[in-house]
Structure 1
Amino acid sequence: MSILIAVHSFRHGIGKTTCLVNLAMMMAQNGYHTGIIDQPAEQSIQARFPADATILDTLHLLDPLPHPLPNLERLSQHLNGYSTPSPLDYLWVELNSPLDQETLPILALCDMVLFVSGIDEHDFQQTAIAVDVARQLEVPQILLVINQAPHAISFHALSAQVQQIYRPDAIAILPWTAEIATLGPHETLCTHLTHHPIYQNLTTLSQAISTLSITSTVTPLRLSFFDLLQLPDQHRTFLSWLIRQRSAPFHAVMDHMQMTPNDTTQFINSLVQQGLITPKPHAQEIHYHPCFVMKSGRHTRKRSQSGLFDDLV
């Protein structure tokens, strides 16, 4: 079953579609079979992809959701019924704003939700309400993008403030830039601005998404030093280094292991899946920590019992 990721912002023009398109393309470029569900009738997402995007055999632009949406059970069956030549790893869907009977059912079924927000007070208030709704629905992973942040402010202070307010599982802060406005209707960061800091920040977020989707069903082990000695040489050497560091971001792991980005992603995901390391948000990055304590697994979601859906199920 694919990981369903919903993307939402409470107002238009804040960069929701831009984030979805580029994150989906990044994951497809990394070999994940990625499906994208367009908005009904508008087909706004499909219009954003470059003409040569079809060369990615891992990227699939899928038919829009039915309108109006069916009840939760039939909607779940519909989302699971999307077929491509290969099983989908990730399924992305853009939610219209505001949260209503056309968006809440999708939010209730998703495995992750990515909220895209600006930085003014009204943006923060409305996003906080949406995050609270997602938590009431027990969405397992909540991600946040703060977009169009002015260069004059401290990104470190902003990140700390956002962490305190929303407590997201992963965060990306994207600076305001005039270069985004120069992109044509079929141009993306992935094809035209790979050198840009925004592209780099979204790359870090895409790596966090691929890691978090594994940890949502993984219970870390209680690792002892005896267990450490029983590991393969590469794992033992890396974990010995990580224990001394206490934690390390992706780029530090890549440099230490002298691996390519793709090999580093696979190596980290393997360790996470085995319960040997765990990712935790830190400022604008994900840091990886060695596992020495037992953590509870993800609680079963009882979304159908929520009062929000009394008239939808």
Structure 2
Amino acid sequence: MPRVISVHSYRGGTGKSNFTANLATTVAALGNRVGVVDTDVPSPGIHNLFCLEPEQMDKTLNNYLWGESSIEDAAYDLSANVGIEGAGKLFLVPSSVKADDIARILKDGYDVKLMNDGFRNLVKTLQLDYLFIDTHPGLSKETFLSIAISHVLVLILRPDKQDYQGTAVTMDVARQLKVRKMLLAINKAHSKLNLEALKQKVEETYGEMVAGIFPLSEDIVQLASEGVFCVKYPEHPVSQEFRKVAQQIIEG
């Protein structure tokens, strides 16, 4: 049974796309067929991490939403870009970075049901084991759709008061939508924090499990979105933490 994983944060700047790229790549490297859809249509960016240049993006999610192509025509096999060989595969459906396309989506919106149908078609056509949805930050009807159809919702938050409050709101919505499983991931945790105490506090506050804690890492900043971190530095503690989260998603 294929599984849908939405990766979401209440605010921008949490490192959500970076997290999605690393987690999806880690799951694919374990021999799974993985798809990623960039539904952050107003501010797309995950294609950069997978080293897919805009000029290579002949078709995008936008073309599918406007009825100009099938969704699988907008799916790019990027397995080679992230060094995945054998049974594992990684596909990306990017969103358009063209200003006119973004303006059109912002002005006219899109059919949320069509997006849902697209996810189903993608899973079936590409025979995916896992579909990762990189969502737009905040709450909107599009986000509600992604959350509602998810088997797992991963919420990214920083140790920050605004993130704490926003995450509480998102969790209330997710519970009303009866999401089957929620995982919390704390990102950009400062080295001076007591990570075990932070984990305990967050789990007690929200009543959900913290799947991983990711430090504020200069190594990640240095990579500057030019590639997937866990591919470049497989033995790094951050990459090991991604493997831990990936295991929790695979084990259900």
Aligned residue number for residue 137 of structure 2: 97
Aligned residue number for residue 19 of structure 1: 19
* CA deviation map 1:43-73 (0-9, x unaligned): 41112114742653511112559x534254x
Q: Which structure 2 residues correspond to residues 297-312 of structure 1 after superposition, within 5 A? A: none
Aligned residue number for residue 150 of structure 1: 190
Give me the CA root mean square deviation: 2.3
Match of 1:165 among 181, 195, 205: 205
Cα contact 1:60–1:84 (8 A) shared by 2: no
Q: Does 1:61 align with 2:81?
A: no
Match of 2:167 among 120, 127, 151: 127
Aligned residue number for residue 111 of structure 2: 70
One-letter amino acid of the counterpart of residue 111, structure 2:
P
SS at match of 1:152: coil
Q: Does 1:44 align with 2:45?
A: yes
- Distance between the aligned counterparts of 1:174 and 1:101, measured in 2? 29
SS at match of 1:98: coil
Distance 1:83 1:159, change over 3 A: closer
TM-score by length of 2: 0.76
Distance 1:83 1:135, change over 3 A: closer
Cα contact 1:170–1:205 (8 A) shared by 2: no
Q: Which structure 2 residues correspond to residues 159-238 of structure 1 after superposition, within 5 A? A: 159-212=199-252
Cα contact 2:9–2:157 (8 A) shared by 1: yes
Higher Cα Rg, which structure: 1
Structure 2 segments unaligned to the other structure (5+ residues): 53-79, 97-104
| 1:86 shift after superposition | 4.5
Distance 1:28 1:128, change over 3 A: same
Aligned residue number for residue 72 of structure 2: none
SS at match of 1:60: strand
| 1:42 shift after superposition | 4.8
Cα contact 2:112–2:142 (8 A) shared by 1: no
After the TM superposition, list the runs of 4 or more consecutive aligned residues in structure 1 that deviate by more than 6 angstroms.
Answer: none
One-letter amino acid of the counterpart of residue 128, structure 1:
A
Distance 1:192 1:31, change over 3 A: same
| 1:193 shift after superposition | 2.0
Cα contact 1:170–1:208 (8 A) shared by 2: no
* CA deviation map 1:138-166 (0-9, x unaligned): 10010111111111121111111111112
* CA deviation map 1:217-276 (0-9, x unaligned): xxxxxxxxxxxxxxxxxxxxxxxxxxxxxxxxxxxxxxxxxxxxxxxxxxxxxxxxxxxx
Distance 1:143 1:58, change over 3 A: same
- Distance between the aligned counterparts of 1:87 and 1:198, measured in 2? 30
Structure 1 segments unaligned to the other structure (5+ residues): 213-313
Cα contact 1:6–1:95 (8 A) shared by 2: yes
SS at match of 2:155: strand
| 1:19 shift after superposition | 0.6
- Distance between the aligned counterparts of 1:55 and 1:121, measured in 2? 38
TM-score by length of 1: 0.62
Distance 1:98 1:41, change over 3 A: closer
Structure with more contact order per residue of length (Cα contacts < 8 Å, sep ≥ 6): 2
Identity of aligned residues (%): 28
- Distance between the aligned counterparts of 1:83 and 1:198, measured in 2? 29
One-letter amino acid of the counterpart of residue 27, structure 1:
V
